[in-house]
Chain A
């Protein structure tokens, strides 16, 4: 049954990794703005073919 010691040790290590990841996320400011990134990721990177918004003037 001493394998339990090892397993618990490993599970704690995994949990600590996640805790560390959470701290990193907080430190890098990810919890300060939870709106902009959701919008930002939808923007196209490349220079666009420049079509004027013809329909919007109707």
Chain B
């Protein structure tokens, strides 16, 4: 039962602090109250509607689990927005399971954030009896809904979710790509290794205690055989990943850290089999299984990352699933992929243009901020070419498609080689580099030991050789990186800086060049400053202007409305001319707000003289009074200190898609050495980064929009800045919440410290390897030494790395 959500305008700045019962935002001067329950205040009709819906269905527990759990209901309900969900083709692609009696679908709902959300989403069946069950996976922000197609429809389910403030994200990327089952292989491998380790260790005990000597002589063969049986699955299943990785490295003529690990594991296993078969002893099966177990823990630590965040989104995640196609028979919803050149489509307010198209009817007011970085919507007339990715603001327009979605200007970027291949780690990790020397060193030592022992004692030579190879297994070394960087990942995650994986920490730590996008990255989109130019206004006049702009949904009007005082004046005969402006009559005076031409040339000229050209603004005329409001980009508050801290260490650059009006200010902020480029297309940005990389620099790109996607992908590390994590962010290596931009310098410094910690941990593990090697070349590396040295080295490396990173984080106040 969808509830019509009334258009809700942004509330004025808070004067009194009455929190909305639903969303917790500050309510306007006169909050909306329910006649039945006057104690509850609401900030807007949308929030009230949700409350009423939940109250009617006895679902008010929602408000008790968490304070103000709701999402502010701000989007204007568009008729027919979800019509495409009725289309057979769309359903076939979206539904995970379908039968006449049951259908199942998994939605991505990034808005869910608290226990209340989980509770409400799992109680959807109380709102729609056709829903048989709904289940939340909070970490992935997914909701799996099962419903009876006879009783309800997909469209109704989505509408219901939207009505309670949890509109699912349904984009082109979700079509066809059903939720990927998380890889469970590592868990199986870990389980088997733990099972083998635990049991083999028990069987190995008699060997280590002299009082059990008699036991050992009786059961030695049995214990040995059993240990072998237990260790075999560990070798075949659990250790497979190391062998595969080593083999892949070898095929690319490259020795990575997994090569010495595989070598050591093989030596360990073969020696043990040999010892058991010849009844020389119980072998090293306990060390072998233990090594695999500990190293898998390292892998697991490394693998744990942020499931709910998508780091690999391309344009398809941004594009809608369906568009309204106009045919001779009327409107119909079709999948975006079915669009062909020459077809007519209708794009409504707030909708995204899915393909390059020519405007045929209506006034286009296209917001390209996400594509090109231009901060203001641009006006387009009939006959103009509109590029895909822009967002229409204002009235519905009719377009004629000129290129299919996959051929568009924006999507062409994705044909760049940077996107084609799986991103290779362009930097060789420290661990791999060290691993290579490690192999050379240990092989030399092993051969040296053989050469030394062979003339006097051939048996000893073999023992020394295998012992050295066993020690060559850099188990502790392989744990250093995952544990140090994994701890760093969690520290940064607490500060809302989410890295794709721990290798990104290493890249960030080694970066020497930082490239910034301007719009949305350096500037704060939410906080443009509205500046008034013109003769002073009386409070009454300001209220009159406020009353008129509040009627409009145009972004500039809305921004202006939040800036002006609250107004309850009535507006008569309000009209909005899209792309031009708005006019209305307040208390008998005509108020016009809009472009220079719209309000009248004389007024505009006067205002332009005062303000100077080349700045976007809104003119207004109110009776005889006239003036102009200017919207200026505001740089983030923290920008200056961040740049001051970064400037000493990094080479800085700015790439802006905008025009060069801000050149002087940027130059002043970034200093004389920084490179600042304007009017950069997405392709330009990508090429600029590629050039820097070719010059041997390690580049970190900080951007936010689709226009930076190429550069983010091409850079050694791409950081996407986002205001809310639920928003779209392009493919990147790291996502930083914009509020924490001020800590960027600290975070980069922390990454550098973490690299030093990794090196220190390497040193520690070398100490253990040194001890082991000393014993090994002398032929004194016995199973019991191995059984003591191995866990101590692994555990101490884990603890050492984690503690050092924590300490470093505390020192830097992270």
Contact = CB atoms under 8 A, between A and B. Distances in A.
Interface of A: 1, 4-5, 8, 11-12, 15-16, 18-19, 22-23, 26-27, 31-36, 39-40, 42-44, 47-48, 50-54, 56-57
Interface of B is mostly: helix
Given A33-B137, A36-B136, A19 B187 contact: no
Chain B's interface size range is 35 or more
Contacts of A50: 55, 58, 60
B644 interface: no
The 3 closest A-B pairs by CB, nearest first: A53-B63, A36-B138, A26-B187
A26 B40 CA distance: 46
Interface stretch (B114-122, B662-670, B694-702): B114-122
B191 A26 contact: yes
A52 B40 contact: yes
Contact of A57 (B18, B139, B182, B195): B18
A8 to B, nearest CB: 7
A18 B196 CA distance: 12
A9 to B, nearest CB: 10
Nearest to B203: A8
Nearest to B142: A33
B139 A56 contact: no
Contact of A35 (B60, B63, B119, B138): B138
8 contacts: A1-B215, A8-B203, A19-B192, A34-B139, A36-B118, A42-B115, A44-B61, A56-B67
Contacts of A22: 191
A29 B203 CA distance: 33
Interface of B: 18-19, 21, 37, 39-41, 55, 58, 60-61, 63-64, 67-68, 115, 118-119, 122, 136-140, 182, 184, 187-188, 191-192, 195, 198-199, 202-203, 215, 218-219, 222, 226
Contacts, number: 90
A26 B187 CA distance: 7
* Contact residues of A: prevailing secondary structure: helix
A48 B58 contact: yes
A27 B192 contact: no
Nearest to B195: A19
B21 A57 contact: yes
Contacts of A57: 18-19, 21, 39-41
A3 to B, nearest CB: 12
Contacts of A18: 195
Nearest to B140: A33
A36 B118 CA distance: 8
Nearest to B136: A36
Contacts of A39: 115, 118, 138
B58 A47 contact: yes
Contact of A1 (B55, B64, B218): B218
Given A23-B188, A26-B188, A15 B198 contact: yes
A5 B136 CA distance: 48
B137 A48 contact: no
A55 B545 CA distance: 37
A32 B138 CA distance: 10
Contact of A8 (B64, B138, B226): B226
B119 A12 contact: no
B21 A31 contact: no
Contacts of B198: 15
A51 B40 CA distance: 12
A53 to B, nearest CB: 4
A33 B58 CA distance: 28
B60 A53 contact: yes
Contacts of B68: 56
B63 A56 contact: yes
Given A34-B139, A36-B137, A43-B119, A53 B191 contact: no
A52 B60 contact: yes
Contacts of B136: 36, 40
Nearest to B114: A39
Contacts of A1: 215, 218-219
A33 B192 contact: no
Contacts of A8: 203, 226
Which among A18, A43, A54 has the greatest number of chain B C-beta atoms within 10 A?
A43
